[in-house]
Amino acid sequence: MASKPHVTAPYSGMRHELASILQLEGFINGIQVKEEDNKKFITVDLRYVDGESVIHQIKRVSTPGRRFYARMHELKPIIGGLGISILTTSKGLMTNKRAKDLSVGGEVLCTVW
């Protein structure tokens, strides 16, 4: 929303894997992991096309107070297939499209479009 070229956050394995999925799907340009004073940080380079952000909305679905689980056949396309849902499954973090291919369900973390 602020049209920044990159975002920096404390490092975690979940954030790194989530950023990797967003990079594979074309929502961000790149990921860098840096270590300063024995603390790791992840920097995500955001992607813009003609000055407009590629990511229009990231909506958190599961919250600490209300978890949302979906079976494979309950996973629906986001914005007619333009967006993705990111799930955590027994086989790791993946998009709704890959989860359908592998016939697994799991906790829906967020939707991106």
Give the residue numbers spanning the domain of 26.
1-54
Query: Do residues 42 and 3 both lie within one domain?
Result: yes
Q: How far apart are CA 43 and CA 56, in angstroms?
A: 19
Counted domains in the chain: 2
Query: Do residues 42 and 4 both lie within one domain?
Result: yes
Query: Do residues 39 and 71 both lie within one domain?
Result: no
Query: If 0-12 CB within 10 Å is exposed, 13-18 middle and 19+ buried, where does residue 61 land?
Result: middle
Q: How far apart are CA 86 and CA 98, in angstroms?
A: 10
Query: If 0-12 CB within 10 Å is exposed, 13-18 middle and 19+ buried, where does residue 9 land?
Result: exposed
Q: What is the mean pLDDT of residues 5-34?
A: 95
Query: Do residues 109 and 99 both lie within one domain?
Result: yes
CATH number at 43 reads: 3.30.1370.30
Give the 3-state secondary structure of residue 64.
Answer: coil
Query: Do residues 40 and 64 both lie within one domain?
Result: no
Q: What is the pTM of this model?
A: 0.86
Q: Which residue in the block uniquely carries the two structure tokens 């309950």?
A: 74
Cβ atoms within 10 Å, residue 112? 22
Query: Do residues 110 and 72 both lie within one domain?
Result: yes
pLDDT in tens, 37-94: 999 999 999 999 998 999 999 999 999 999 999 998 888 878 887 889 999 999 999 9
Where among 11, 36, 54 does a domain terminate?
54
Where among 54, 74, 96 does a domain terminate?
54
CATH number at 104 reads: 3.30.1490.10
